[in-house]
A and B are shown apart, each in its own frame.
Chain A
Amino acid sequence: MIIKDVLCPFCGCLCDDLAVEVENNKVVDVKHACKIGASKIMGHDRIKAPMMRDDKNGEFREVSYDEAINESAKILANSKRPLLYGWASGLCEMMAKGILLNEEVGGIIDNTASVCHGPSVLGVHEKGIPTGTLGQFANRADLVVFWGCNPVQAHPRHMSRYSVFTKGFFANKGRKSRKVVVFDVRKTDTAEMADEYVQVNPGEDYLVLSALRAIVADKADVVPDSVGGVPKEKLVELGEAMKAAKFGIVYFGMGLTQSRGKYKNIDNAISLITELNAHGKHSIIPMRGHYNVGGFGQVCAWETGYAGAVDMSRGTPYYNPGETCSNDLLMREEIDAAFVIAADAGAHFPAQSIARMGKVPVIQIDPFHNPTTEMANIVIPTKVSGVELEGTAYRMDCVSLRMRKLVDVDFPSDEEVLDKIIAKVREIKGASS
């Protein structure tokens, strides 16, 4: 059986044109996907049963779901400062349940944007964000800028589906309709395919953005001969190209959000785009990583008013990045229990945070073994969303789509596990109050 129009549970492109062949309830072939997406859907060794251990250096023992869930609930209910982290590779339905669980335990809920596009959200607080849906850019953009991102490696179908090679209504010659510029500290594979590669000195993106803003404002005379490693001549040429564009789009990644300047880079980039709208039409969009990391921001915002890093210890949502993000709390050694779901803190957090996680009970909900498993005390395997479970995900441009179920499995869903933990937490808290 071939299932068509399947959505891909890998990156923020959320491609929805895959064809998946299923035989005897097993995925046997994936068409149209990139290699990473296909391998995600084909599946690999998964955690077979819930496991627990008291000593993080000890061996896991297999336990029942009930035992693992009850023990998880006990840890969370008795914790004073639990962190509920992850959420990016799950569905919106389970994220809403996570926010409810966080209310029950008075903890902090945060997602992977914390170490990824969190600074972009701060930039949006400062300036807003002029953006749009990917099809708008595909149909119209004659100037495409990739800044600090490398879609060839990280979003393999982005250029063909949305940004560069695809033909649009106005950009009807595809690649030939667009000028492609890459700003990066190194010549990436994406830069190799660009019309212009602009090498920026590491940590000096902010300066380059400021120079471009000055040029766009007809104040090139204040720009020094070289900014951030880029000759003024080149910057003027780029600034003029931006002003002349009918529709410009900037796609940006970690190279801008996690390098020196962080959210100030984003603030500056958004300001540049806002000012360019006095000349042509311009938009900017973050290249989101996990297929539904955008969904967490959306769900958390409509549930709590904030896109992440929500501290419920006061009984109302409290948000103060720098204070309430995962790594702020871990590094201050406030966290006394960590619940990691649909993401991998172990692989992506700094050493100081990991050290704290090594000292507190860690609960992991995930279909797959990953570095977080190495720090976990309890591991609860669940369904693979978008392969074994249907539900909602948000593409990088905040378009929500419904992911399909391809095969049936006996594992519980994230949502079912969360429901049971919530019920048990209520039971424990009810008994103690």
Chain B
Amino acid sequence: MSEMLIKNATVYDPINNINGDKMDIAVKDGKIVDSVTGSAQTIDAGGRLVYPGGVDAHTHIAGSKVNVGRIMRPDDSRLNNKPRTKVTRPRTGYTVPNVYSMGYGYAEMGYTTAFEAAVPILKARHTHEELEKIPIIDKGGLTLFGSNWMVMDAIREDDLDRLAAYVAWGLLSSRGWGVKIVNPGGGEAWGFGKNVSGLDDPVPNFEVTPRQIIRQLAEANEKLNLPHSIHLHCNNLGKPGNYETTLATFDVCKDIKSKRDRQSLHVTHVQFNAWGGNHWGDFESKAEPIADYLNKNDFLTIDMGQLVFGSATTMTADGPVQYANARLLKARWSNGDVELEDASGVTPLEYHPQSYIHGIMWAIGLELALLTKDPWQVLMTTDHPNGGPYVNYPMVMTMLMSKKRREKEIAKIAEKTFERTSIAGIDKELDWYDIAIKTRATHAKVLGIVEHGKGHLGVGADADIAIYDIKPDETDATTEYDKVEAAFRYAAYTIKGGEIVVKDGEITATPTGKTFWVKSTAPADGYDRMMEDLKMKFKNYYSVSMANYMVQDEYVEHPYVVETGYQ
């Protein structure tokens, strides 16, 4: 029976409508409770800022492509090295940290939950091997379905129940949390070096369109009543003018009804999909029409995919875009096709403030967050490590909070950027409450894990708490951005499941977090038809036996299983 009392906290807990209240937080056995006994361990927050533990709904922290990044980039592993301590293992890497640094880095910033955003089913075992090794934080994975043969065949044959049954089986097989769709159909086209060009361009040999893939997977997602909505990386990512595809893609799901208290569509790292112009010469921001759409429609959420200047390792299931990137930048290129399922690519690159292309990309992310009125609709991410590594979140948070901080950055950036974006004229500055929404509350809500104790500090929630060494009452975030960034970078305390894991920015304990996954029932007749097709595909086309395919329980040693079902 361990008890803890955090006294004199200035608490921002948007899910519970707590906006800077001075209060105490009581913890018992890893959960938030109403009160504790006098013998509880006490932490005096002294009026400092307290948030629920940070949640990252879209990041690339584990699995095959992260390891490809590490193996390709010994130059990256030479960065940020720290020797082991009495509690920590040695740390390496900046954009592709080793598993230990991955967990410590999040915990240092007061983050306690992160979801890996691209898990191919065939390689899910690998993802889970790494997830299990990442210390401290809780985790989950989003499973790739967007170029999968089982999915496309069911859609072509207009068999929604079979599709739903396969989604349920795929989530079980991969021990996944949600449905990820990357460049729908493009991964299959990339199997022969091609791509799809838009929502209505049929996938070669499969005769289904990206529109159908998105639409039907969204319907299957709701039929299965999954905690998270579909999580979509749009077609045409990385191409000037792609904002039109993005807007059209939003419309595909406009009338999909969510049965839960959440969006019916999450579109990810929209910075990379809000591009105007016809080519790199007239490249410009189209964040405004995207933000307008969000301001008029509440069925969808997005995340920023903010760009951070400096080194990045881009990694995505969008194989063709990575080849294009690598050829354009003469960069190293790794590709990783996954039979019957999807593609992937990894390319290291460097974002330069003096490149107006990169400057515009930098601006778009911030514009999306600042021009969209409802803070719950835009999650703060860098699509780690695509826009830049997650350790830069504190800097991005100050950019959202302070126009002066943005101006300081603007001074470094190529001038052409500001003819083609509106960032310089945006006065909006987010407050402590907005930042709590954008870095934890809405991530948890979008993922569907609020009811499982994440993203808030209500009674019964997991005692995942961040105390930052800053007093909101005495700090003007619009001017004291360096102080704010330093505070967010290294938490005074990070408490994970009621245990102090970070004190004064140092890791003090390394418990193992849990892994969220969803077990869903499926329609019986659809399941039978699905199984028949699946067995045929294993017999003829997969290179592994069906009996050896599914992730075994041994790989998810700390599961948190949410059961749901077909309706």
Contact = CB atoms under 8 A, between A and B. Distances in A.
Nearest to A130: B335
B328 interface: no
Given A135-B542, A304-B92, A398-B126, 4 more contacts: A103-B84, A314-B83, A392-B129, A400-B125
A302 B74 contact: no
A136 B339 contact: yes
A305 B74 contact: yes
Contacts of A301: 67, 70-71
B193 A280 contact: yes
B334 A130 contact: yes
B106 interface: no
Contacts of B340: 135, 139
A129 B71 CA distance: 10
Interface string A376-405: 000000000000000010100011111000
A78 B552 CA distance: 40
Nearest to B128: A400
A298 interface: yes
Contacts of A129: 68, 72, 334-335
B122 interface: yes
Nearest to B85: A315
Contacts, number: 184
A126 B122 contact: no
B130 A124 contact: no
A317 B92 contact: yes
Interface string A142-184: 0000000000000000000110000111100000000000000
Interface centre among B190, B334, B543 (most CB of A within 10 A): B543
Given A121-B71, A317-B77, A128 B326 contact: yes
Interface string B307-349: 0000000000000000100110000111111111000001100
A134 interface: yes
A166 B169 CA distance: 27
Nearest to B99: A302
B548 A16 contact: yes
Nearest to B542: A135
A200 interface: no
Given A127-B332, A131-B334, A399-B123, A306 B74 contact: yes
A274 B333 contact: yes
B122 A133 contact: yes
Interface in B58-115: 64, 66-68, 70-74, 76-77, 81-84, 89-93, 96-100
B127 to A, nearest CB: 9
Interface residues of A, number: 63
B453 interface: no
Given A135-B541, A140-B192, A399-B123, A316 B90 contact: yes
A408 interface: no
A431 B228 CA distance: 53
Given A136-B338, A302-B133, A319 B333 contact: no
Given A134-B543, A139-B541, A317-B90, A306 B129 contact: no
Contacts of B346: 128
Interface in A294-314: 297-298, 301-307, 312, 314
A399 to B, nearest CB: 6
Interface in A393-423: 394, 398-402
A55 interface: no
A362 interface: no
A135 B129 CA distance: 22
A125 to B, nearest CB: 6
Contacts of B552: 402
B335 A305 contact: no
Contacts of B544: 16, 135, 399, 401
B77 A305 contact: yes
B17 interface: no
Interface string A310-349: 0010111101000000000000000000000000000000
Contacts of B332: 126-128
A134 B74 contact: no
A134 B339 CA distance: 8
Given A125-B74, A316-B83, A319-B77, A133 B338 contact: yes
Nearest to A140: B191
Nearest to B339: A135
Interface in B410-439: none
Interface centre among B333, B339, B340 (most CB of A within 10 A): B339
Contacts of B67: 298, 301-302, 398
Query: DSSP class of A's interface residues: helix, strand, loop or mixed?
Result: mixed
Nearest to A166: B543
26 contacts: A5-B547, A7-B548, A16-B544, A16-B548, A103-B90, A126-B332, A128-B72, A128-B346, A128-B347, A132-B338, A135-B541, A140-B192, A277-B193, A282-B193, A304-B77, A305-B92, A305-B97, A306-B92, A316-B83, A316-B91, A317-B81, A394-B126, A398-B67, A398-B336, A399-B126, A399-B544
B548 to A, nearest CB: 5
Contacts of A16: 544-545, 548
Contacts of A235: none
Of all A-B residue pairs in the complex, the 6 with the closest CB atoms, nearest first, are A305-B77, A135-B339, A132-B337, A135-B543, A315-B83, A305-B92
Given A131-B335, A169-B540, A392-B129, A319 B74 contact: yes
B77 A401 contact: no
Contact of A392 (B82, B125, B540): B125
Contacts of A315: 83-84, 90
B157 interface: no
A136 B544 CA distance: 12
A121 B77 CA distance: 15
B549 to A, nearest CB: 9
Contacts of B84: 103, 315
A425 B468 CA distance: 39
B81 A5 contact: no
B473 interface: no
Contacts of A283: 335, 337
Interface in B124-162: 125-126, 129-130, 133, 149
B255 interface: no
Interface centre among B64, B71, B90, B126 (most CB of A within 10 A): B71
Contacts of A131: 334-337
B521 to A, nearest CB: 26
A162 B90 contact: no
A219 interface: no
A124 B71 contact: yes
Contacts of A187: none
Contacts of A312: 90
Contacts of A138: 339, 541, 543
Contacts of B149: 169
A303 B99 contact: yes
A169 B188 CA distance: 13
B162 to A, nearest CB: 19
Contacts of B125: 392, 400-402
A128 B333 contact: yes
Contact of A402 (B64, B66, B548): B548
B129 A400 contact: yes
Nearest to A315: B83
Contacts of A124: 71-72, 334
Contacts of B193: 247, 277, 279-282
Given A17-B545, A302-B99, A302-B130, A281 B191 contact: yes
A332 to B, nearest CB: 21
B347 A5 contact: no
B532 interface: no
A334 B97 CA distance: 30
A399 B122 contact: yes
A314 B133 CA distance: 23
A92 interface: yes
Interface in A25-83: none
Contacts of B543: 133-135, 138, 161-162, 399
A402 B555 CA distance: 10
